[in-house]
Amino acid sequence: MTTLKNDRYLRAALRQPVDCTPVWMMRQAGRYLPEYKATREQAGSFMSLCSNPDLACEVTLQPLRRFPLDAAILFSDILTVPDAMGLGLSFAAGEGPQFARPVRSEADIRQLPIPDPETELRYVMDAVRTIRRELSGRVPLIGFCGSPWTIATYMVEGSGSKEYAHVKGMLYGNPEAMHALLAKITEASIQYLNAQVAAGAQALMIFDTWGGVLTPSSYQEFSLAYMAKMVANLTREADGRRVPVTLFTKGGGAWLDKMAESGCDVLGVDWTCDLRDARARTQNKVALQGNLDPSVLYAPPEKIREHVGAMLASYGQGPGHIANLGHGIHQFVNPEHAAVFVDAVHEMSRGYHQG
Ligand code: CP3
């Protein structure tokens, strides 16, 4: 195995000293980059881009050619797992994801298979292997999946949703069925992430995009408990180094203290929280990732730098911060503004890492 040339991200995830704060951006490979749009056009559809390891590798590397990012993230989607469970995923132009066969009944849940990562999801593992080879140790590669609750939301609704009528209807009306579904997704996701580590992923992230729509008690019972079960069953070492795990619940700021007890290494924080409070509430048990409002990147460079300065000051002295946006980068952001963000983190953070 090639040695890792830049391990700032892995060190910060374990709260070890670094020279400056590492930075990457959620959705760093995406439509704000003209070269991404060109490759996606070449692939035809989003899913054919994900399922072609060479093209998935190409778009993974595109943002790293432009910006001195400290981590690469596998180009794929959280919905590959339910697709492999037989739900029939498609992305209608401008409408987001759709499943042909949503899960609505106990019978539907019983029939769901647990996909074998090296067969049904082989294209993802091949992408991981290709990306690791092409990165040749430049930065670590982050693998990922959705949280069981977030995946269940898409599986039961059949698409994105505003009211969550079907999935919340199941949660409150038939909690046993909801638990049976979550248990199955959890098992599938553990196998999927462990296969990504075996294929070469050096860190893992669980995206809980819809955990924030739950009540405090239902969040613990239906989302956090299953993420904690996942964390307990993940491979935590590869190439002689710890594989850090990040949990990110969008809108989960109120529950960071509970999340910090899940056994994960890093918590993703969205922009509704102050990093200072987040750090106080998690008492340096975990590293924190985030949390610039992605909309700050619409502002001119000087303002972006001011907001980066405020974010770094809010986290304060010492290691344990991975700079990022509080959610994915928007498609209409000027790539030069993303460059300002990345450079500002590196330049302005050095003073927080002395002594
Ligand atoms: O971060 C990265 O660069 C890695 C790639 C990545 C994608 N999706 C690529 C993608 C990651 C980590 C995801 C995760 C994902 N996918 C999440 C969790 C993170 C979050 O944003 O909260 C969710 C909820 C999804 C489901 C999903 N995939 C939706 C709702 C959509 C459509 C939204 C949209 O912007 O159109 C996707 C499609 C998708 N996944 C795109 C990309 C780059 C855009 C597809 C395109 O090129 O048209």
Question: Can you give the pTM of this predicted structure?
Answer: 0.97
User: What pLDDT is recorded for position 225?
Assistant: 98
Residues lining ligand 1, Cβ inside 6 A? 26-31, 40, 46, 73, 75, 77-79, 96-97, 144, 160, 207, 209, 250, 328
Give the list of residues 6+ apart from residue 193 with CB closer than 8 angstroms, or none.
Answer: 143, 144, 145, 201, 204, 230, 234, 235
User: What pLDDT is recorded for position 94?
Assistant: 77
In the chain, the amino acid numbered 293 is: D
Residue ranges of the chain with per-residue pLDDT less than 50: none
User: What pLDDT is recorded for position 1?
Assistant: 59
What pairs with residue 59 in β-bridges? none
- For ligand 1, atom 5: residue with the closest CA: 75
327 marked ligand binding residue: yes
Predicted confidence (pLDDT) per residue in 284-302, tens digit:
899 999 999 999 999 999 9
Mutation probe of ligand 1 site: the residue of 26, 27, 144 with most atoms within 8 A of C-beta: 27
Rounding to the nearest 10 degrees, give the CA dihedral for residues 220, 224, 226, 229: -110
ipTM (interface pTM): 0.93
Domains of the chain: 8-353 (3.20.20.210)
Residues with catalytic roles:
27, 31, 40, 77, 154
Mutation probe of ligand 1 site: the residue of 52, 78, 289 with most atoms within 8 A of C-beta: 78
- State how far the alpha carbon of 12 is from the alpha carbons of 68, 81, 225, 294, in Å: 16, 29, 26, 22
Pairing of strands 287-292, 266-268: parallel
27 marked ligand binding residue: yes
Q: For residue 114, count other CB atoms closer than 10 A to its CB.
A: 18
